[in-house]
Amino acid sequence: MQLSKQTLNQPLNQPIEQVYDVLVIGGGAAGLSAGIYLQRYLLSTLIVDKGKARSHWMQELHNYLGLPPNTPGQDVLKQGKAHYLALEGDYLNGYVQTVIDEGETFAVHVQIGRKSPTEAVFRSRYLIAASGIIDHLPKLDDMQNVFDYAGHNLHVCLICDGYEMRDKRAGVFGSSESSLEVAFSLGWFTPNITLFTNGEFDVGQELRDRLTQKGYRLVEQPIKKFLGENHQMTGVQLSDGSVVELDTGLVSMGSKYHADYLKGIDLEYKGGNLVTDPMNRTSHPRIFAVGDLKLGMNQVVIAAADGALAATQIWRDIRRAEGTRRSPLITAA
């Protein structure tokens, strides 16, 4: 059964009766992979997706086993969603506002639609937090100028795209002194590095000395705009009109964690990331975290594996608790 638009647009005074086995928040790589595994374990699943997963922005996924190295991130998501829907998983475009732990179930409050939004409440026994992160980008007056290059040759992930930056003139765009440290790892791939503060923070003498020692340049003037065409950034124009030519860039400004809906539940975090066990269970026995939200590397293939692990553990939990497949699913032998 697909969750139809009609089901969702019913008035809130007609509560939705079904309790899903698992509600997955986020339809990116981790959430879709979890959904595929869950449906194949014959568990009922609802994925609620707000759209625009981090991998949605990736123009080319260079390191995902089994796919050509120029596969757009969107293609993986599209194939994964079709795969999940073919397994009859429910899927809803919506924004999860709050999760309330009711003991046996979670009540998940979802805002649906943008212009005249409605709210619906869904219930599930388990929750998988797969809503990920999104990278902060340089704040310029014209943000479209940033979006034109982000995900093309203005990268956000050194592990993903360091190889593409090798031996190139690279800019590093930071948001704090510590965020500039990534330049030293980028130095593995290219010796030609210019760091930009966009005039937003100070850099101490110790870091200045280390940059000088490596031959890296530091630019502290505000950035006026990125230069380039056809999504290929060719440099930066500063506030005084001068130009720094670049072949590529790396944004290192931290991330927004999409997990506000978990605020009411006491969970263990490290930094912004949820701490999990090897099967991706959080400190709450019925909440799992997968993909970029959890502690670990932010890679599409790891997110996909995370989904498989969490789904399998939930299946084991339910199977062990119930002993056998539940009656609505049993057909005559």
Chain contacts with its own copies (rule: CB under 8 A): 29, 32-33, 36-37, 40-42, 62-69, 71, 75-76, 79-80, 83, 86, 159, 162-163, 166-167, 185, 187-189, 191-192, 214-215, 278, 296-297, 299, 301-302, 304-309, 312, 315, 319, 324-325, 330-331, 333
Nearer to its own copies, 230 or 331 (CB): 331
Antiparallel, parallel or unpaired: β 154-155 and 248-252 = parallel
Nearer to its own copies, 68 or 264 (CB): 68
The distance of closest approach from Cβ of residue 107 to its own copies in the complex, given in angstroms and rounded to an integer, is: 27
User: Minimal distance in Å, beta carbon 62 to its own copies?
Assistant: 7
Q: From the CB of 98, what's the least distance to its own copies, in Å?
A: 29
CB nearer its own copies, residue 36 or residue 223: 36
Q: How far is the CB of 166 from its own copies (least distance, A)?
A: 7
CA distance 33 to 300: 10
Closest distance between its own copies and the C-beta of residue 279, in Å? 9
Closer of 12 and 297 to its own copies (Cβ): 297
User: Smaller CB distance to its own copies: residue 1 or 65?
Assistant: 65
